[in-house]
């Protein structure tokens, strides 16, 4: 009996998704690494192997959300939706690749805000081209405010560095980053309380819409796997993503040299697209069903969590590890994030969307991608890093 349940669960999770044909690339990456050492093939194979795992992680989270209810389910979706990026960041932090951590987290925010939201608006606008789609403007305003707060947290350490106005050179910038990170984590905790407790009515339309859509759709009437099966699959997939992330991080620099692709482009563009594969697909799907509130929650909610939780969490984790991870993402990266937040906030202020707004966001993302393809970190940042490590 137990074997039949296990077989049924494995069949649903592993054999029902078309993306899962990429799963064998993960073990192949490990085999290539053991036989030939770190090289560009290990990076490419690990990257391909993580794509279906990230998608299945999102699926297992959605299944678990059936048992936890919409409120806790929304939080679970946001948290595990960003699990891939956070796991990659922690392994990069352990390998003292602080710039990879900063750039991959930044890339995740940019990818969600421009590419994921842009594709959702574009596809939804094409399907419903006779009308403008609408969403809850109040939730968009709150998230935009949090994103601007995150920009403030990143901006001041960068300004302190580039204006050479540190009270204690090499120490004030790091101390400010750690203090600001603690404040940002506190603000994110307050946001969760605001969202889930004191202002439930603000988000009720999203939850009601999601509940009605589940009731009206035959395929969403009931979960496909049990609660404990969901928990077990979440654990297995998280461990497997962690294993592949180690090989991926170790091969980044070699892949950058052999493929003639800047590390900044790999970190900001390629890694987040892989990590956001599940979110990308679900945001588009909901937009094409005229459920933009959910699409917005997936894209902007994920960006908010990375900026207000993911980045400060990595700073505090680096503090515990003895790594000088700070909020100085350099001037180029901070300016890119600031302009992106302003553009997205401007497009969201009316509470409506159409395919043209989506196209604008996608084209903005292409400009960002091209910019990072020709961008190289200034040598000064490396010298700063070495001085901090020496201390």
In tens, the pLDDT along 124-151 reads 999 888 788 888 888 888 888 999 999 9
Q: How far apart are CA 280 and CA 298, in angstroms?
A: 8
CA angle, residues 12, 13, 16, in degrees to nearest 5? 60
Q: How far apart are CA 30 and CA 244, in angstroms?
A: 8
Asked if residues 274 and 84 have their Cβ atoms less than 8 Å apart, the reply is yes
Looking at residues 347-359, what average pLDDT do you find? 89
CATH of domain 1-212+225-375: 1.20.1420.30
Q: How far apart are CA 154 and CA 73, in angstroms?
A: 30
User: Over the chain, what is the mean pLDDT?
Assistant: 81
- The confidence band for 182, taking pLDDT boundaries of 50, 70 and 90, is very high
- The confidence band for 230, taking pLDDT boundaries of 50, 70 and 90, is confident
- The more confident residue out of 115 and 229 is 115
73: tokens are 């389910």
Looking at residues 246-268, what average pLDDT do you find? 85
The pLDDT of residue 207 is 46
* Residue 385 pLDDT > 50: no
Place of tokens 């392994």: 91
The pLDDT of residue 137 is 84
How many Cβ atoms are within 10 Å of 47's Cβ, its own excluded? 22
**Of the listed ranges 28-42, 168-182, 309-323, the one predicted with least confidence:** 28-42
The pLDDT of residue 15 is 73
Crossing angle for the helix pair 70-81 and 83-94, nearest 10 degrees? Answer: 40
């Amino acid at each position: 009996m137990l074997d039949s349940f296990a077989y049924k669960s494995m069949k649903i999770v592993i054999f029902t998704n078309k993306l899962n044909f990429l799963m064998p690339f993960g073990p192949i990456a490990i085999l290539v690494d053991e036989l030939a050492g770190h090289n560009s093939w290990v990076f490419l194979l690990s990257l391909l192997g993580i794509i279906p795992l990230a998608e299945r992680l999102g699926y297992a989270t959605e299944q678990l959300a059936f048992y936890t209810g919409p409120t806790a389910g929304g939080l679970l979706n946001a948290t595990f939706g960003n699990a891939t990026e956070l796991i990659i960041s922690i392994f990069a932090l352990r390998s003292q690749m602080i710039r990879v951590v900063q750039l991959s987290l930044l890339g995740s925010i940019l990818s969600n805000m421009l590419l994921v939201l842009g594709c959702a608006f574009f596809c939804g606008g094409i399907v419903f081209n006779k009308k403008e789609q609408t969403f809850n403007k109040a939730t968009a305003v709150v998230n935009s405010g949090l994103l601007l707060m995150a920009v403030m947290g990143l901006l001041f350490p960068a300004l302190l560095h580039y204006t050479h106005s540190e009270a204690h050179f090499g120490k004030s910038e790091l101390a400010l980053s750690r203090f600001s990170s603690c404040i940002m984590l506190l603000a994110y905790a307050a946001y969760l309380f605001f969202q889930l407790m004191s202002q439930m009515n603000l988000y009720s339309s999203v939850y009601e819409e999601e509940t009605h859509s589940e009731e009206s759709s035959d395929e969403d009437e009931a979960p496909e796997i049990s609660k404990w099966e969901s928990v077990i699959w979440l654990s297995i997939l998280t461990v497997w993503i962690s294993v592949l992330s180690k090989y991926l991080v170790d091969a980044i620099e070699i892949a950058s040299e052999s493929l003639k692709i800047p590390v900044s482009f790999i970190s900001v563009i390629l890694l987040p697209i892989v990590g956001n594969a599940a979110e990308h697909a679900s945001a588009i799907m909901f937009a094409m069903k005229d459920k933009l509130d959910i699409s917005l929650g997936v894209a902007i909610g994920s960006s908010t969590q990375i900026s207000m939780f993911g980045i400060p969490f990595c700073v505090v984790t680096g503090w515990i590890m003895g790594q000088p991870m700070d909020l100085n993402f350099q001037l180029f990266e901070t300016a890119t994030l600031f302009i992106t937040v302003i553009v997205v906030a401007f497009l969201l202020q009316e509470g409506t969307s159409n395919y043209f707004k989506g196209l604008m966001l996608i084209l903005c993302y292409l400009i960002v991608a091209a910019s990072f393809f020709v961008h190289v970190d200034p040598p000064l940042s490396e010298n700063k890093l070495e001085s901090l490590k020496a201390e």
